[in-house]
Structure 1
Amino acid sequence: MYHPIFIFIGLRYLWNSNLKKFKKFIIFLSIITITISISFLIIITAIINGVQENFKKNILSFIPHLVITNKDQYINKLEFPKNILKLNNIEKISPFIKKDIFIKSKYDITVAEIVGVNINNDKNIKNYNIKNISKILQPKKYNAIIGKELAKKLHVNIGDTIQLILLFDTTSPLTRKNIKTHTFKITSIFSTNNEVDYYQILIDQKDSKNFLNYSKNYVTGWRIWLKNPLFLEINKIKKLINPLILFDWKSKKGELFKAIQIEKYIMFFLFFLFLLVAFLNIFITFIIYTIEKQNTIAILKSQGLLDWKIILIFVTLGLITATIGSILGTVISISLILEKNFLNFLIHFFFNTNNISMIIIPYHVFFINITVILLAILSTLYPAWYSIKLKPYRILSHE
């Protein structure tokens, strides 16, 4: 006697030498559909993880996740809202000086953003990959480090001079705009392959204060970087810093992030529909089995096979089909991700894009597989319920 009996019967129904070719094809089709669906889901998830990681690394590492300031964007350091320290998601906080100005060279003029750099404390300098910054930016030397793309636009290079032009309102009754200019020498050019290369200029913090007429203890505000910038409790933070003003990274990059999220949900929805086809195959296959094997089920019931064991026969069929498909899909997808050449060729062929970053997160793979297996099991429950409702005496009375 084979134990447990429901597994033995389930395996016999799933595959045996006497099984008709059409039924073998249906089972094979169900497994292949699940395999393809899981492969695509894992690959798409890895691509989306890579896109989000690049978004955090290449964009969110250069712009602060939160900015705290007042309406004038000119605030005393003593007004720092200490309640913000209650948040567990904070990675680092630093005061900053920043201003939009005009920049002029011999050949062109454009709008740029100066950033006052404290070379001793500002941890974000490392993202710019600038060596010997303490020697390049020295107080009262009025040196500047300019972005690569901005330098191209202005047709300048290391050793050239640029003129920074500041427009500000006076306190006179006429609120007439005054202009302040100062010449800076370009001592280095940074390249981050990020949008800051197009508009940002780094100068010493003391030089920036002198140029902007900042008092000793005054700054533009505080920049905050979070451990997980994708998780923001804006309303909670606003209460902690009231009455100061809060800006978050979504105000600048929110639309781009939304586009990434929408693409992710659309891809998941499309492949979920593809996966649904696989479960419909399983469902239809088991309905056909139930109708065709009514006599067999009636005999098993008349011989004392309990209803729950009959249900487990169907569950076994669905579980094995989904498990085989899941294993094959996982192995194929991880192999393709680790060997990127083929995937990069396909992506370049269809989307004309190279070097797509892909990141495998184990619990995502586990979640996808468990979800698929559970859905496959659920697709067997109705055929199983239908089979246990059969009355053996009615079916066998004609035998």
Structure 2
Amino acid sequence: MFQPVSLFIGLRYSRAAKGNAFISFISFFSIAGIAIGLMALFTVSSVMNGFEHSLKTNMLGLIPHVEVQAENHTNATMHNLKTDLEKSPFVEHVSLYRHGEAILQTNKDLHGVLLQGLYDDNGSLYKITDKVVQGNWHTVLNKRYHIAISRYLSRKLEVGVGDKLRVIMPNASTYTPLGRMPSQRLFKVAAIYETGSEIDMGLAFTSGASLLRVLKLDKNSAPNLSVSLYEPFALEQFISHSQPLLKPHNYTDWRSSQGTLFAAVAMEKRIMSMLLGLIVLVAVFNIVSALTMMVSEKQGEVAILQTLGLTPAQVQKVFMVQGLYNGVIGTVIGALLGVLFSLYINELLALLGLNLLAGAELPVKFDLFSLIMIAVASIAMSFLATLYPARKAARVNPAEVLRYE
């Protein structure tokens, strides 16, 4: 098979078993360093992406991505706005929605929550139907004064499906012979859900009609709108696209409650990637060292090749091929090991007896574009590392080297 002479010689140098043992050791170390660094980068990136995806599903799936306030607006206005917002290409679903701060009280304990009142049984908005572990979600919405709480709250308040608890609304009150008292009502636990996130500590669900009565609001008062997006991180695009519709209304988005957490996760992912990228960078510097010593050792051979007709540009390509060979081999090995390690990381941790999340598994999600960019960056750094030694080889003067041969 025909090969360019520079490629042929460069590959021969790369695969040669004999030669300076120290140079061979450095070359091996550069390949191993790139492979280990890339494996670590692939694994960390996949686990962090999985963690971010898990948070996005479990937390942002249970709260409105955008909540439009109904202050000073009528039912007709909010229904028309609902219809208009549903036409947006970013919007998955728009629901009538109401919420209020509440205290859940039993004989054992009490706990403050955000009580959400829903008006339809659309699982695509809250995705809570997939997280119900006990009871019936439809009962919560179709019967008055039924509530869904998390497994965490169920254990804390020591109640289960069918038990009753008292819902106290501090922001709504009634007048009694004893004075002004917070509005309260007994609710029956109809469903228990679990997301495995901090949302479980402060969120409960009931029907919009039940919450309306407990809040002592007029039955004709307009509910808020809860907007669910196909991609919560496309929030800025949605707001820009829907600004004419949203401008007359007050609205909030998920960043006000959960934005700090997701910003911290994104920052941690960037910092970890940067630190692990230094491993690859150190390994790439070994390519420079190995090639520089190789050029010094093979000056005689380079001079002979030039006398046989090899141009300085071809000599330069010989050593670029040799250095790039190490970078490509290390990248391929590291990528394969990174994918395999990510796929079986939970099994490996169990085999080693490491229980990092109290029995839970590390989430893994592959982002093909990010992984390809990491591999391309590794090869690009390897290529840049070959430029100085290759140019040094191209400047070898055959007359000077062969003078005393």
Q: For the superposition of Structure 1 and Structure 2, which TM-score range results when normalised by the shorter chain?
A: 0.7 to 0.9
Change over 3 Å in CA distance of 1:330–1:229 after alignment to 2:
same
Q: 1:67-91 CA distances to partner (integer Å, 9 max, x unpaired)?
A: 2226x59864514377755753322
CA distance in 2, matches of 1:216, 1:67: 20
Structure 2, gaps ≥5 residues long: 174-178
Counterpart residue number, 2:382? 376
Residue 109 of structure 1: aligned partner:
110
Once the two structures are overlaid, the 10-residue window that deviates more, 119-128 or 270-279, is: 119-128
Alignment of 1:232-381 (within 5 A): 232-233=235-236, 236=240, 239-240=243-244, 241-340=246-345, 341-344=347-350, 348=354, 354-381=360-387
| One-letter amino acid of the counterpart of residue 364, structure 1 | S
Which amino acid counterpart does residue 95 of structure 1 have in structure 2? L
Runs of 4+ in structure 1 off by over 6 angstroms are 349-353
Report the counterpart of residue 90 of structure 1 in structure 2: 91
Q: Structure 2 counterpart of 1:92, which letter?
A: H
Cα distance in structure 2, aligned partners of 1:266 and 1:353: 27
Tell me which residue corresponds to 1:19: 19
Residue aligning to 1:390: 396
| TM-score, normalisation: structure 1 | 0.85
User: Residue 157 of structure 1 aligns with which residue?
Assistant: 160
Q: How many Å separate the matches in 1 of 2:257 and 2:145?
A: 30
CA contact (8 A) 1:298 1:391 kept: yes
C-alpha change, 1:39 and 1:347, in structure 2 (3 Å) is farther
CA distance in structure 2 between the aligned counterparts of 1:83 and 1:24, rounded to whole angstroms: 68
Map of 1:213 onto structure 2 = 216
2:214 alignment partner, SS class: helix
Change (3 A) 1:346 1:362: farther
What per-residue deviation string (whole Å, max 9, x for no partner) do you get for residues 273-294 of structure 1?
1111111110111111222323
* 1:78 matches 2:82: no
Question: Which of 138, 159, 181 is 1:134 aligned to?
Answer: 138
- Structure 1 gap ranges (5+): 171-175
Distance in structure 2 (CA, Å) of the matches to 1:114 and 1:208: 8
Q: Do the aligned residues in 1 keep the contact of 2:101 with 2:171 (CA within 8 Å)?
A: no
User: 1:373 and 1:120, CA in 2 relative to 1: closer, same or farther beyond 3 A?
Assistant: closer
Separation of aligned partners in 2, 1:60 and 1:39:
31
Could you say which residue in structure 2 is the equivalent of 1:29? 29
- Separation (CA, whole Å) in 2 of partners of 1:83 and 1:119: 18
3-state SS in 1 of match to 2:95: strand
Pairing of 1:151-190 with structure 2 (within 5 A): 151-168=154-171, 179-190=182-193
- Taking only aligned residues, the RMSD between alpha carbons, in angstroms, comes to 3.1
| TM-score normalised by L of structure 2 | 0.84
| Structure 1 residue aligned with 2:176 | none
Structure 2 equivalent of residue 173 of structure 1: none
Change in 2 beyond 3 A, CA 1:252/1:29: same
Distance 2:353 2:391 in 1: 45
Identical-pair percentage: 27
Provide the residue aligned with 1:8 in structure 2.
8
Q: 1:40 to 1:346 in 2, by over 3 A?
A: farther
Choose 317-326 or 299-308, whichever is displaced more: 299-308
- Once the 2 structures are TM-superposed, how far is the Cα of residue 342 of structure 1 from its aligned partner? 1.4
1:220 deviates by 4.3
The amino acid of 1:269's aligned partner reads M
Give the CA deviation at 1:150: 2.1
Distance in structure 2 (CA, Å) of the matches to 1:73 and 1:142: 27
Superposition deviation, residue 381 in structure 1: 1.0
Residues 11-52 of structure 1, C-alpha deviations (whole Å, 9 max, x = no match): 232232431222221211111111111111111111111111
What is the match of residue 119 of structure 2? 118
With 34-43 and 187-196 compared, the bigger mean Cα shift is at: 187-196
The alpha carbon displacement at 1:242 in A equals 1.6
- Report Cα offsets for 1:287-342 as digits up to 9, x if no partner: 11222323332332333212332222122112211222122222222222333321
CA contact (8 A) 2:104 2:166 kept: yes
Q: 3-state DSSP class of the match of 1:264?
A: helix
Q: Is the 8 A contact 1:148 1:198 kept in 2?
A: no
